Chains A and B, each alone.
Chain A
Amino acid sequence: MPDLIPISSPGAAPADWLAGWRTGPAATASETPEWLQSARSAAAGNFERMGLPSRRVEDWRYTSLASLAEQNLDWSPPSVDVTRESLPALVFGREADCRLVLVNGEVRPNLSSIPNLGDGVVLTSLSNALGEDDDRVLRFLRQRLAEDGSSLKILNDSWLLDGYVLIVPDDTTIDMPIEILSVGTGGVRPPAYQPRNLVIAGRRSHVTIVEYHIGLCIGSYFANIVTDIDVGPEAIVRHCKVQDESKEAIHLALYSARLDSSAQLDSFSFTLGSRISRNELRVRLEGLGAYCRLNGAYLVRENQHCDHTSVVSHASPETSSDQLYKGVLDGQASGVYQGKVVVHADAQKVEAHQMSRALLLSETSEVSTKPELKIHADDVQCSHGATAGELDAEALFYLRSRGIPEIRARQLLVEAFLNEAIDAVALAGMRLPLEQNVVRWMAERSGP
C-alpha cells in the first residue's frame, strides 16, 4: 500500500474558483516561444468567454461540472515529494519494463524507467520536447491547438506546461508496452492539473500504451487531461487505460485521434475510480480503410458518476468503427454513454457499430444512453443498441441451485457480463489483472 498523502477537504466554495488559473502560464511572460504564449492567451480568452460547459450544452447534458467551481482548487500545486517506494511497484500485478511517471500532471524523470526503445523512438516530457524545439512536436501541437473543441480542451490549451510525448518513427515496432503512470496527490487545497500528451505513430509503426491513472490520496483533485494522437498510414496503436483515481477526484480526459489510411486504433478503458469521470474519444478516420475499436468497462458505486463519450467521424470510404461499453453500477452511481457517429458525404462502404450495456445492481443506480448517427453517405452499415437491466434472476437461481452461494453467483454473473468487453483487450497480459479487479470490486460490496 502506498503512503497516503493526506488532503484536506475541498473547503468552502471560493469567490473565484479560477483565480489561480488566471495567474497561470497564459498570464506569465516567460521565455517560451511567442507562438506558444499567444496560443495560451488566445485559449485563455476563449475559456473566459465560454466557461465550463453547462448541462444546456448538448454534449454535457448528462454530466454536471457544477461541483468543480465549488472547490478551492490549487492550479499551481507545489511539487509533491513522491518517492519511488510510494509508487505501487506493480500496478495491477504487472511489472513495467518501461514506465513514465507523472505526478499531478508533471513528468518525473527520477521516478520513471525508460529503457532504450529503439532508433528514433522518443518518450519524454512535453516541457522537454518544447525545450528541444523538436520540429515534429511543434508542428503537431500547433495543428491541434488550432482546432476548436469543448471548453475543457480550450482550458487545457491555455496551460501547456507538461505531459508525455511519444514518437514512434516509421516502420518501427515497439514490442514492450509503454506504461504511463499518472498519479494524483492531495495537497492543502485540491490540486488542479492539466497535462497535454502527444502520441505520434509513424507509417507502419506498432505501439501499445498502457495508462494508469491512480490517486495517492483519498481526497479530491481535478485532472483535465488532453491526449492528441496521430496514427500514420498502416500504423497500429493500442491504448489501454485504467482509471482508478481517488474516489473524490474529478477526472476529465479527452483523447483526440486522427487516423491515416489503413491505420488502426484499438482503445480500451477500464474505470473504477473518481467521483466524476469522463472519458471522451474523438476519432477522425481520415484515411481510406482506417479502423478504430473503442471498448470500455466500468464499475461504479456510491455517488460516482462515469461518462463515456465518443465522436467517430468517418471521413473516408471503407472506414469502420466498433464500440462496446459495458458498465456495472451500484449504490447511487450514474453512468453515461453518448456515442456519435458521423459519416461524411463521400465516405461509402462504411461500417459503424456501437453497443452500450449496463447492469444495475441497485434500484438507485442509473444509466443514460444517447446514440447519435449523422449519415451523409448511402452505402453505409450502421448499428447501435443499448440495454440496461438487473442481474438475470433465472441465471442466479440456476447457479445457486448448483450449490454456488448467492454472493459468489452474483460475482460470477458480473464477471461474465464484463468479460465480453475485457476479452477484447488486445494485450493478453492485461486481462487477468482486469478480471481480478472485477472480483475485488464485487468482493467489496456489502450486500447482495
Chain B
Amino acid sequence: MIEIKNLHAAVDGMPILKGLDLTIASGEVHAIMGPNGAGKSTLSYVLSGREGYQVTDGTVAFKGQNLLELEPEQRAAAGLFLAFQYPVEIPGVTNMTFLKHALNSVRIQRGAAELDAMEFLKLVRAKTKELGMSDDMLKRAVNIGFSGGEKKRNEILQMAVLEPTFAVLDETDSGLDIDALKIVAEGVNALRCRERSMLVITHYQRLLDYIVPDHVHVLAAGRIVTSGDKELALHLEEEGYAAFAERAAA
C-alpha cells in the first residue's frame, strides 16, 4: 500500500524527520507511538502534502505512485486520508457543504459520477447516525464551536464519507471520552478490510485495545527506532519512552 524509504523532511529549514522507513501492506493497521515532538504529526503532514514541509531526501510510494509529487487534493483522490490532530475551523462553510464538495470532488477525480443532493443527503445521514452524531452538526460551520471530542468525531465522519484506502489517524483518540472512543473505534473498525490500511498515531495503549494493530512502531527523534507487535504498546505504557529508550540502547 505505502512504502516510505529514508524519508527526511524539514520544517522552516529545521530537520524533523531523519531517515524514516515504514512499509504498510494492504489490509494492515500500524500504530505509531512516540514522545511529544518526535515528528509524528510532521510525518502525517508530509504524507498529505502540506505546504511548508520540505522533503529533503527519501521516497514515498503509494500504490505504486510517487506520492510526493501529487497535490494534496490528488492524494485524497488517490485514497489518502488524514484525520488531523487539530481539526481546522472554517467559518461560513457548513459541514454539509464541505462534505458534499469533498465527496463529489473525490468522486470526479476517481472517475465516478457526482451524487445529487438527495443521494448525498441519504448517505451522509446514515454515516452521521452510525457515528452517533446529530444532524444538527451537519448544518453548523465546519468545527466551529465543536467540542474537542466532536471535532475528532467529525474527522471520522469525513473519513467514513470519503472511504479512503489509506487513513492516517493523528491522535484521534485524545480528547475523546470513553463512550466516544468506542464509537470512533467502531467507525474505524467498520472500515477495516483487506483493501484498506491505516496508520494510527496515539499516545495511549487504550485505543489499541479497540483498534488492534498488526504492528506497532516507536518514532523518536525523526526515525522509527523500534517495531513490534501489539505487546510493544503494553511495554511502552508500563515503562515510558525514556526508560524504554534507555533499555533499548543498553
Interface positions of A (Cβ within 8 A of B): 392-395, 397-406, 408-409, 412-413, 415-417, 419-420
Contacts and interface: CB of A to CB of B under 8 A. Distances in A.
A6 B61 CA distance: 58
Among B71, B75, B88, B106, residue most surrounded by chain A Cβ atoms (within 10 Å): B88
Given A397-B72, A398-B88, A416-B91, A403 B48 contact: no
Interface of B: 48-51, 71-73, 75-77, 82, 84, 87-93, 97-98, 101-103, 105-106, 109, 141, 158, 162
B101 A404 contact: yes
Contact of B102 (A395, A403, A420): A403
Nearest to A395: B90
Contact of B101 (A394, A395, A406, A408): A408
A395 B73 contact: no
A417 B101 CA distance: 17
A420 B72 contact: no
B51 A420 contact: no
B93 A412 contact: yes
A403 B91 contact: no
Given A397-B72, A398-B84, A403 B92 contact: no
Contact of A398 (B90, B103, B141): B90
What 10 A-B pairs are tightest by C-beta distance, nearest first? A416-B92, A403-B76, A403-B106, A402-B102, A398-B88, A400-B72, A403-B105, A416-B93, A404-B105, A400-B73
Nearest to B94: A416
Given A398-B84, A401-B73, A412-B93, 18 more contacts: A395-B88, A397-B50, A398-B87, A400-B76, A402-B76, A402-B102, A403-B76, A403-B77, A403-B102, A404-B73, A404-B105, A408-B105, A412-B98, A413-B90, A413-B92, A415-B92, A416-B91, A420-B91
A404 B51 contact: no
23 contacts: A392-B90, A394-B88, A395-B89, A397-B50, A397-B88, A398-B84, A399-B90, A400-B71, A400-B73, A401-B49, A402-B76, A402-B105, A402-B106, A403-B76, A403-B103, A404-B73, A404-B102, A405-B105, A406-B73, A408-B105, A412-B101, A415-B92, A416-B93
Contacts of A419: 92
Contacts of A395: 88-90
B162 A402 contact: yes
Contacts of A405: 73, 105
